A and B are shown apart, each in its own frame.
Chain A
Amino acid sequence: GIQVEQSPPDLILQEGANSTLRCNFSDSVNNLQWFHQNPWGQLINLFYIPSGTKQNGRLSATTVATERYSLLYISSSQTTDSGVYFCAGPYGGATNKLIFGTGTLLAVQP
């Protein structure tokens, strides 16, 4: 089954700065999601992005399935962007369970 690696593990930004988070997969995926876990522990869906590019306000994501990676862009960061960002993809084979990366802990300082 696939393995998922995220980088960087930690990131500190000043409010207003931009950032790029990366997710690498050990094998090709046809189903990739980005989540934001807020300080209360709730997992919020950001993007479902098997391939291509999507944008939602200050956030955008790009998945290059053939090269087995996905990027999450955060522009003009705000303190409310703080939390942990996870990417996840299907394990593959006979099971479609989602495998999560270890996450990127983002702290946006005012």
Chain B
Amino acid sequence: GAGVSQSPSNKVTEKGKDVELRCDPISGHTALYWYRQSLGQGLEFLIYFQGNSAPDKSGLPSDRFSAERTGGSVSTLTIQRTQQEDSAVYLCASSLSKVEAFFGQGTRLTVV
């Protein structure tokens, strides 16, 4: 596609529910990144996929968080048993290997 697309744009969920956030990277981009940004804060790295290599999961804050990337394209970030502290904007980016990364518009998650 023309740019990185994320869905949904906004998600309100009840505490304890599971949520799935989707990222469609730019076509042909081999690298995909997930970040989280809490209100007024910087970007917190979550997970990084590069081609067929094992993903770098070092930023996932707990085992309630997981992500997969199917067919080297679309990625889904799953948060199980959501907590209020999970409320944030979740940002996805993609790039060709080791060059300029481009971000989607983000998914604003609110846990009530």
* Any B CB within 8 A of the CB of A95: yes
Count of B residues near A, CB < 8 Å?
Answer: 25
What's the dominant secondary structure at chain B's contact region? strand
How many residues of A are in contact with the other chain, CB < 8 A?
22
- A70 CB to closest chain B CB, in angstroms? 14
B85 contacts partner chain A, Cβ-Cβ < 8 Å: no
Q: Is A33 touching B101 in the complex (CB atoms < 8 A)?
A: yes
Instruction: Please report the C-alpha to C-alpha distance between residue A97 and residue B57 in the assembled complex, in whole angstroms.
Output: 10
B42 touches A97 (CB 8 A): no
B interface list, Cβ under 8 A from A? 31, 33, 35, 37, 42-43, 45, 48, 50, 56, 58-59, 89, 91, 93, 97-103, 105-106, 108
The 6 closest A-B pairs by CB, nearest first: A48-B100, A97-B48, A43-B103, A100-B43, A95-B56, A102-B42
